[in-house]
Amino acid sequence: MRRFFYFALFATLFLYADEVKLTDVEGKYKAYHKLEVEHQFKQHIGFGFANTTGNSETLNFSFDYNFEYITAGYSNQELKLLFDTRAYISESNHEKDDEEYKAWLRCEQMIVDNWFGYLSSRWERNRFQNYENKTTLGIGLGKDLLSDSNQSLTLTLGVAYTFEYYSDDTPHYNYSSITQYLDYKNQLNEISNLYLKLGAMESFEHFRDDYELVMLAGVKFIIAQSLNLSIESEVDYDASVADGYEKTDTKTLIKLGYDF
């Protein structure tokens, strides 16, 4: 599975290499063009259902909220603040079949020539995966490899430090890691948008044996001006889990969202 992930990552970069090299004059101008001071604030809220497999096999109620705030930052370049939170809950006979919470905060500062630096923090709780609390702090660099009116491709590389506290008696574990993420978006037509994400995090201390992979694919359909419907599939793989827990978890999600 790990080999497949890296093959997909490098294949995607190879397919877009020629297109990135052929950046037009307008694209080069935009890379160095300083942002006019114009604040943007976008929000999204969504409700839906998610079918999970792996450590929890059930149908969940899902909720998510995120926002994106853009303003002028360093040298009047674009400064972006991103926040995302999600919850998946399932209960039957007054007992929870699944309960997962995630929150993610990220700050991106555009530097020059489509390069940006970022700081991020992520928290999650999922007792069905043996995580009472899992917090990750990250820093790194990213580059917009492709950006036009229809599609975008962004690569980020960084380092992170993770604090893991478990639901059972396993002692807590802290570790540093290297992270890589590839995000692709494509506006297929006037009413549908495709989005893909590949991510990897490998421990510095146990590079071969302690790593995590995430693969996500989805399509968003515009129903009305602010209303949308999303169908999404996600695969999470954790190579180092405690005995009795599955390494692979999946989610298949359908949700109704509102943008404002």
Mean pLDDT lowest among 48-62, 81-95, 222-236: 81-95
Over the stretch 196-207, which tens digit does the pLDDT of each residue have? 999 999 999 988
Over the stretch 52-78, which tens digit does the pLDDT of each residue have? 999 988 999 999 999 999 998 888 899
Percent of the chain with pLDDT over 70: 84
pLDDT bucket at 124, cuts 50 / 70 / 90: very high
Q: What is the pLDDT of residue 96?
A: 74
Question: Does the pLDDT value for residue 26 go beyond 50?
Answer: no
Domains and CATH numbers, the chain: 2-259 (2.40.160.40)
Cα 81-85-88 angle, rounded to 5 deg? 165
Strands 173-187, 192-203: pairing kind: antiparallel
Question: Does the pLDDT value for residue 16 go beyond 70?
Answer: no
Lookup: tokens for 113: 């020539």
